[in-house]
Amino acid sequence: MAKSEETSTSASSSMADSSLRPWQSYHTVYTNAKAGMDGVDKEKVQRVVYEMSKGSKYFENEERKEAYMKQKIENMRAQCAKLKATDISHYQRVVDKRSVELEATRDLSRIWLHVDMDAFYAAVETLSNPSLKGRPMAVGSMSMISTANYEARKFGVRAAMPGFIACKLCPELVFVPTDFKKYTYYSDLTRKVYQEYDPNFTAASLDEAYLDITKVCKERSMTGGEVAEELRLNVYKATGLTCSAGVSPNRLLAKVCSDINKPNGQFVLPNDRAAIMTFISSLPIRKIGGIGKVTEHILKDVFEIKTCEDLLQKGSFLCALFSPSSADFFISVGLGLGGTDAPQVRSRKSMSNERTFSATKDEAFFYQKLVELAEMLSADMEKGGLYGRTLTLKLKTASFEVRTRAVTLQSYIWSSKDILKHASKLLKAELPVSLRLIGLRMSHFNEDKGGGTPSDPMQRTLLNFIKPGDGNREIVDEEHSDIKDSYEEAHCHAYTNPSHDHLSELDQNICSSSDNNEKAAEHHELEGNEYKDQINEDTLVENSMKSSAFDAHVTDTHSLEGKNQDHLRRIGFSANETEPSSSNHEEPFMWLDDYKCLLCGVELPPSFVEERQEHSDFHLAEKLQEEEESGDSYKKFPLKHRMMRQKEGVVGQSKGKKKQKHSPSNGKHIPIDAFFTKTSQNL
């Protein structure tokens, strides 16, 4: 949770304090330190935000989220408390080993530059309207602000703040509507400058970029600082706008550095390990890209981690409670490591449109919104030459609860007609509902972006046939999934709400007008049947291979890969629903070195008594199931399935309607974003 230092210690704040100053426990992002916000009366900002939010649906939802997070923190604290000295020393050894491995990857040979335009949208607006100069101004609307100039920031006004709250904080605030055409134009001008220093620079957004200036420094015998100075001057000459820069041996730190002397400044971190470690030692964790308000809150409240150095010092706890990839990320941040190689060009993964409106239950209105969104999305996809297979409907209810519902189709679509047809079906299953936002997202794009006919996932390509080795497995899986999709397309059109309402009527009209797609579906189904015999053969071969592989797996617990261990570790923690309880008579024989499960390799410290009990039960249940399955009559209905069916009281109804997921807080590892596969922001 991003909050001011004085409000971040919710654990230590007394009850008396919270009753006198309730806003102090209302965690908003608006008091988080941002460039130009030094000297802001944070308590006043927090009080105003609290007063204006109190009692609203938004506020209630924030409280729900807060309560959920507190529960999560409590769970993690309980896990921490269970760790004994021997556990901690065990995990410390793991951290030490990993630190050495990560340290070996340190590359101090590159010089990275991160450029960040100062209050970009606001600066562009001031450039085109000089009368705004010196006045507090925000780009955006009464409902949401995109950015604010430095005059407005002095009042606590900032990006992602609702305009009406900003107005309260700064009554003289001038609002300017967003104009992306203008921002794109100026962004292009800056990029022409960047190109002169690194032709392969990475644009992180309209106003941010990463440049590898190693080559230009060498060729022109200049330091990183000198290049940054010159580049900033050239950006100013080309646009009339100022920017800030950070120079460091890796992208992660370059981004942190560019924020230090904002606006119109720069900071250079030398390519020297000692300097990096000193820099990192007092750096607040929230400054790191990838550590947001939730992760910050958890790290502070559970482990009392505030600086990047603390991440290393508390490494053993992090290793014990987080997934290996998350722990790796935290350790590498503690060591001041980040990306130094040229980031790979990533293709677009999804495309979406969403619109917010006043909360309503009006189904005709929902449909009209769907029509608009489908048309917008279709137009965007056509522009990008994209065809997608997965359509996701996003809904935000009147109480700010976000739901997503997705369908993956057997064929690629792009037309507004097809998008609308499937979106209507997804929405219909959610009615009646009061909504304040509807969104549509397409994903699962075809690889062929060169136009022409979209590739059909049902079609066997030449490559499929000739691909050797492991590729065969992929072919089998693809075919299975395609046939399943065909089946669903043909059989799962029974929706939960059969009433003949507005949407269903329109739905039928659309379906009947979408003949081509239906014909394609029939065609695919025929194709699918043709391949069924081949698939059965493949499955037989696959199954026989699996059984022998399983035997080897059980006897060789030391050869488990990290990923596999992680997976099994999760199973160990989450297997608790259908397994019968059992005595722990196997316990003394299960744990290698008192940590590692002999059967699957999962690591659990001896003090995690309940978890280990559950884990033993899990393996026992597995064994029971194997025994049961050895009797032919039950082979087609494994234990889990039978129990579930009995529980539901219905047979054969599970298909087409998945159960809602359990809360992720039940799992051992909390999800942390973009750790090593960095996002564009988190390079």
Partner DNA sequence: GGGGATGACTGGC
Partner DNA sequence: TTCCAGCCAGTCATCCCC
Q: Which is nearer to DNA, 272 or 341 (CB)?
A: 341
Interface with DNA (CB under 7 A), residue total 110
Closest approach of DNA to the CB of residue 661, in Å = 5
User: How far apart are CB 162 and DNA at their closest, in Å?
Assistant: 3
Those residues whose C-beta lies under 8 Å from the C-beta of residue 501, and which sit 6 or more positions away, are 363, 431
* Residues from 550 through 569 that contact DNA (CB under 7 A): 550, 564, 567
Options 174, 222, 275, 406; binder of DNA; rule CB under 7 A: 406
Q: Cβ of residue 222: shortest distance to DNA, in angstroms?
A: 26
Number of Cβ within a 10 Å radius of residue 298: 21
Distance, CA of 589 to CA of 565 (rounded, Å): 19
Q: Of 61 and 223, which has the nearer Cβ to DNA?
A: 61
Question: Closer to DNA at the Cβ: 3 or 436?
Answer: 436
Contact of 140 with 146, CB cutoff 8 Å? yes
Helical spans, DSSP H, in 304-415: 308-313, 315-321, 324-334, 363-384
Using CA atoms in the order 229, 231, 235, 237, what is the torsion angle rounded to 10 degrees?
70
Least Cα distance to 388 among 440, 434, 444 occurs for: 444
Choose, by CB under 7 A, the member of 13, 223, 352, 607 that binds DNA: 352
Q: Which among 601, 620, 619, 604 is positioned nearest to 553, based on CA atoms?
A: 601
Q: Pick from 13, 99, 408, 415: which binds DNA (CB under 7 A)? A: 408
CA distances from 244 to 19, 120, 176, 259, 541 (A): 42, 11, 24, 7, 60
Binding flag, residue 671, DNA (CB under 7 A): yes
Determine, following the binding rule CB under 7 A, whether residue 207 of this chain makes contact with DNA.
yes
Task: Give min distance, CB of 561 to DNA, in A.
Answer: 10
Closest by CA to 44, choosing from 169, 167, 174, 171, is 169
Q: Is 325 or 415 the residue whose CB approaches DNA more closely?
A: 325
Judged by CB under 7 A, the chain residues 427 through 446 that form the site for DNA are 436-437, 439, 441, 444
Amino acid at 321: L
Of 232-240, 245-253, 332-340, 355-363: span binding DNA (CB under 7 A): 355-363
Give the interface segment with DNA, choosing from 191-199, 388-396, 506-514, 517-525 (CB under 7 A): 388-396
Which of residues 163 and 606 has its CB atom nearest to DNA in the complex? 163
Listed residue (444, 521, 451, 517) closest to 486, CA to CA: 521
Tell me which residues in 460-499 interact with DNA (CB under 7 A): 473-474, 477-478, 480-481, 483-485, 487
- Amino acid identity for residue 86 in this structure: T
User: Is residue 611 a contact point for DNA (CB under 7 A)?
Assistant: no
**How far apart are the C-alpha atoms of 188 and 204, rounded to whole Å?**
13
Rule CB under 7 A: which of 151-170 touch DNA?
A: 159-160, 162, 164-165, 167
- Given 33, 260, 351, 643, the residue binding DNA (CB under 7 A): 351
* DSSP string for 457-509: TTSPPHHHHH--TTHHHHHHHHHHHHHHHHHHHHH----S-----HHHHHHHH
Is the distance from CB of 37 to CB of 158 less than 8 angstroms? yes
Residue in 133, 403, 519, 623 binding DNA, rule: CB under 7 A: 403
Nearest to 623 by CA among 587, 668, 579, 573: 579
Half-sphere exposure of 325 (CA within 13 A, CB side): 15
Closer to DNA at the Cβ: 108 or 492?
492
Stretch that binds DNA, among 74-82, 219-227, 343-351, 503-511 (CB under 7 A): 343-351
Element (H, E) at 173: none
**Is residue 467 within 8 Å of 374, Cβ to Cβ?**
no
**Catalytic-role residue among 208, 363, 489, 579:** 208
The answer to the question of residue 658 lying near DNA (CB under 7 A) is yes
Which span (131-139, 143-151, 232-240, 301-309) binds DNA, by CB under 7 A? 143-151
Interacting residues with DNA between 92 and 131 (CB under 7 A):
none
Q: Which stretch binds DNA (CB under 7 A): 84-92, 267-275, 590-598, 665-673?
A: 665-673
Task: Report 493-552 residues binding DNA (CB under 7 A).
Answer: 535, 539, 546, 550
Query: According to CB under 7 A, which residues from 263 to 282 bind DNA?
Result: none
d(Cα 202, Cα 681) in Å, to the nearest integer? 10
Residues between 34 and 93 that touch DNA (CB under 7 A): 49, 52-53, 56-59, 65, 68-69
Residue 208 annotated as catalytic: yes
E strands, 170-249, in order: 174-176, 202-205, 208-212, 243-248
Site for DNA in 275-334 (CB under 7 A): 288-296, 323, 325-326
Which of residues 15 and 549 has its CB atom nearest to DNA in the complex? 549
263 cis-preceded (ω within 30 degrees of 0)? yes
**So which residues are the catalytic ones?**
208
